[in-house]
């Protein structure tokens, strides 16, 4: 998915120079004195924004240039949705998407500032215009169906883009909130297990990769608080050999691990770059369809996962495929 940035930039250039002659000049006369100052102010604001827009495009390009690809906002939102859905369905805590979240957060921040700037523009300029001219505009709309006038009117007092931008930001924020809450609840659940991971040096994946900085802190302090509660209320009355809260030797293992074999619904999407020939783990079956071949070790059974199909499958079996982005959970 590549954006034609040239096109957008050209559009922006046109916008700053384009003057709409359809705007009736006598409309401006009554409020001329105070509009000019405002327009000046707004003009500078607007160009500043335009610069900012350009600047942002450039910075996002630069920031991701390390990976030598440009990540478009649409793509990162798609990735975020996939992350969210996977996290909600997976039994284990998936690695935190550091880069993606950083990008999303900075975008939200910028967008919120942008919206604020725009709504300030509304207050300063258009408000005075409404009171004077909106009846007139409406009259014009009613009397003649001139599309230009309609357009001007709709453009002029349209709060629609603003409404949409606000709604959109709420939507993104909802996904991120839900994503993080889901992760926090998993951190609660696997608190002891994560601790064990941290202490275990032989582990392949470090805790910093799985958790974000805030999550690490939450994990640490939440663990201490609950430990203190348990210690003070119950554990201190126990004999010393029973005081450990992470006893694995007793009759019941106290460390709750993720249920690795939990069944999950998967959708086989194929390699992320869409290039079926290059993926070495893909094979063709007798119906000449591409599929992944996986083995369920416990049953010694081979299963072919055809692309674009839906399966109910054990998590452990498809874990590697999920990490490679070749299947999605639903």
Partner 1 sequence: MSLPKHLQETFSPEEIQFIVENEPIKIFPRITTRQRINHRDHNNNNKGHNDTSRRNWKLITTKDFPLNNMVAMQTTTVTLWIALLLKQQSKCSIIAPDWLTIRSLDQSIQYEKKHEDRFSKLPWNWLVLAQLLFGKAPDDFHDPVHELRNRIQDLREIRQLKVLKGLKYLNESHLQLDNLSVLEINELRPFIIDIMDKLRELHSAAHGESNANEADDEEDFNFS
In the region spanning residues 187 to 216, those forming contacts with partner 1, defined by CB under 8 A, are 188-189
17 near partner 1, rule: CB under 8 A: yes
Which residues 170-189 are close enough to bind partner 1 by CB under 8 A?
171-172, 174, 178, 181-182, 184-185, 188-189
Which residues 97-116 are close enough to bind partner 1 by CB under 8 A?
107-108, 110-111, 114
Tokens of 71: 């990540």
Considering the complex, state which of residue 124 and residue 243 has its C-beta at the smaller distance from partner 1: 124
Considering the complex, state which of residue 7 and residue 241 has its C-beta at the smaller distance from partner 1: 7
Considering the complex, state which of residue 4 and residue 277 has its C-beta at the smaller distance from partner 1: 4
Considering the complex, state which of residue 174 and residue 323 has its C-beta at the smaller distance from partner 1: 174
Number of other residues whose CB lies within 10 A of the CB of residue 314? 19
Give 236's DSSP letter: G
Please give the size of the binding site for partner 1, defined by CB under 8 A.
87
Which of 9, 62, 120, 164 is the binder for partner 1 (CB under 8 A)? 164
159: left (phi over 0), alpha (psi -120 to 50) or beta: alpha
Which of 64, 100, 101, 125 is the binder for partner 1 (CB under 8 A)? 125
Which is nearest to 291 in space by CA: 305, 279, 303, 277?
305
Number of other residues whose CB lies within 10 A of the CB of residue 187? 20
Which of 54, 128, 134, 150 is the binder for partner 1 (CB under 8 A)? 150
74 near partner 1, rule: CB under 8 A: yes
Which of 2, 6, 19, 286 is the binder for partner 1 (CB under 8 A)? 19
CB 90 within 8 A of CB 318: no
Which residues 37-56 are close enough to bind partner 1 by CB under 8 A?
38-40, 42-43, 46-47, 53
Phi, psi of 170 (to 5 degrees): -60, -40
Which of 58, 225, 276, 330 is the binder for partner 1 (CB under 8 A)? 330
Which is nearest to 204 in space by CA: 309, 95, 98, 131?
95
Q: Which residues contact 16 (CB under 8 A, 6 or more apart)?
A: 47, 50
Min separation Cβ 240 and partner 1, Å: 31
Which of 34, 242, 256, 263 is the binder for partner 1 (CB under 8 A)? 263
Exposure on the CB side of residue 166, measured as CA atoms within 13 A: 9
Number of other residues whose CB lies within 10 A of the CB of residue 321? 19
Considering the complex, state which of residue 324 and residue 330 has its C-beta at the smaller distance from partner 1: 330
Considering the complex, state which of residue 160 and residue 244 has its C-beta at the smaller distance from partner 1: 160
88 near partner 1, rule: CB under 8 A: yes
List alpha helices for 90-211, DSSP H.
Answer: 98-121, 127-143, 147-157, 160-189, 191-199, 207-210
Cα 122 to the center of its chain, rounded Å: 29
């Amino acid at each position: 998915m590549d954006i034609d940035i040239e096109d957008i930039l050209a559009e922006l250039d046109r916008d700053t120079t384009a003057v709409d002659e359809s705007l009736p000049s006598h409309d401006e006369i009554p409020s001329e004195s105070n509009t000019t100052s405002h327009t000046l102010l707004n003009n500078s604001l607007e160009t500043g924004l335009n610069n900012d827009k350009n600047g942002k495009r450039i910075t996002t390009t630069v920031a991701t240039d390390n990976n030598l690809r440009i990540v478009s906002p649409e793509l990162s939102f798609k990735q975020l949705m996939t992350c969210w859905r996977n996290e909600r369905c997976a039994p284990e805590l998936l690695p935190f998407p550091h880069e993606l979240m950083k990008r999303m957060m900075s975008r939200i921040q910028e967008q919120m500032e942008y919206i604020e700037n725009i709504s300030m523009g509304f207050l300063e300029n258009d408000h005075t215009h409404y009171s004077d001219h909106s009846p007139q505009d409406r009259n014009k709309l009613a009397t003649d169906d001139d599309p230009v006038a309609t357009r001007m009117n709709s453009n002029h007092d349209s709060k629609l883009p603003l409404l949409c931008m606000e709604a959109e930001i709420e939507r993104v924020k909802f996904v991120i909130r839900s994503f993080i809450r889901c992760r926090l609840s998993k951190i609660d659940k696997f608190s002891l297990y994560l601790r064990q991971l941290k202490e275990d040096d032989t582990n392949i994946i470090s805790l910093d990769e799985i958790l974000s900085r805030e999550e690490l802190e939450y994990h640490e302090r939440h663990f201490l608080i609950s430990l203190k509660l348990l210690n003070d209320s119950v554990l201190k009355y126990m004999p010393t050999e029973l005081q450990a809260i992470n006893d694995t030797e007793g009759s019941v293992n106290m460390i709750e691990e993720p249920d690795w074999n939990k069944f999950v619904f998967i959708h086989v999407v194929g390699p992320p770059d869409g290039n079926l020939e290059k993926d070495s783990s893909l094979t063709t079956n007798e119906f000449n369809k591409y599929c992944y071949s996986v083995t369920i070790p416990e049953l010694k059974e081979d299963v072919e996962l055809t692309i674009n199909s839906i399966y109910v499958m054990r998590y452990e079996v498809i874990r590697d495929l999920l990490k490679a982005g070749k299947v999605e959970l639903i």
